[in-house]
Amino acid sequence: MNLFNQLSIWLSFQLSIIFLIGIPITLSFWSIKKRNKAVCKLLSIYWKISLLFFISLLLLIGRYNYALVITNIATLLMTLSVWFWNDINDELGEYDFSYSLTTTTKIWRWSVTFISLNFLIQSLQNFNCISFINSDACAIWLQPSSNLYIYIKNLFNFFFGANFTQPIAKFLGLFSLLIYLLGLIQWSIIKLPKNGRNSCFSENGRN
């Protein structure tokens, strides 16, 4: 793996921290303060979907071979979740550029889309890592999760006085993945046919 590719993967993870975690947290508090129901609903859906991204980080810590597949599915679902809802899209379209909350939200949606596509392109360029993350050539993909592992391990030891190991991370990741899939299947069978692309953010009255 050449230096440019390593730098690109490292940068992708740094951007993901900003645009997949940092900015959504800011937007969540901002939308609550402004009492903007459309953005609040969009972010609440986004956080539910983004749980898969955090599950993928656990699987990367546990060095699960297909963790990178889960990461890409997670970012694609996160992108879909911020564009899918017709009622939210219509509501955001009613605000002009001067309304900073919705303008920032629109820019953020495009940023999430870019990061998702970038992750996919990076993964395809390192195709072997999709099915075998433990090879030496894929070490750069594990580096961010290795740093996270150190923090979680120290916190786990501090609060529970026990070791947080990679096998434990893998087990927790796979168990969480199973629960997530069951929830996604339930939503697809029950709520999606009923509501379609309507998020129902305005059921209790519009902003």
Q: What is the CA radius of gyration of the chain?
A: 19
Which region holds residue 95: left if phi is over 0, alpha if psi is between -120 and 50, else beta?
A: beta
Which residues lie closer than 8 Å to 162 by C-beta, 6 or more apart? Answer: 156
Q: Using alpha carbons, list the distances in angstroms from residue 132 to 3, 63, 123, 135.
A: 20, 9, 12, 6
Q: Where are the domains of the chain?
A: 3-195
pTM for this structure? 0.88
Tokens encoding 131: 């099915």
At residue 143, the pLDDT reads 77
At residue 163, the pLDDT reads 77
Contact 36, 69 (CB under 8 A): no
At residue 13, the pLDDT reads 82
Contact 195, 88 (CB under 8 A): no
At residue 207, the pLDDT reads 41
Per-residue pLDDT of the chain (207 residues; tens, 9 = 90+): 566 777 778 788 888 889 999 999 999 999 999 999 999 999 999 999 999 999 998 999 889 999 999 999 999 999 999 999 999 999 999 988 888 999 999 999 999 999 999 889 888 888 888 888 888 888 888 877 777 777 777 777 766 666 778 888 899 999 999 999 999 999 999 999 999 999 988 765 444
The full DSSP string for 46-86 is HHHHHHHHHHHHHHHHTT-TTHHHHHHHHHHHHHHHHH--H
Contact 101, 39 (CB under 8 A): yes
At residue 201, the pLDDT reads 84
At residue 114, the pLDDT reads 93
At residue 134, the pLDDT reads 85
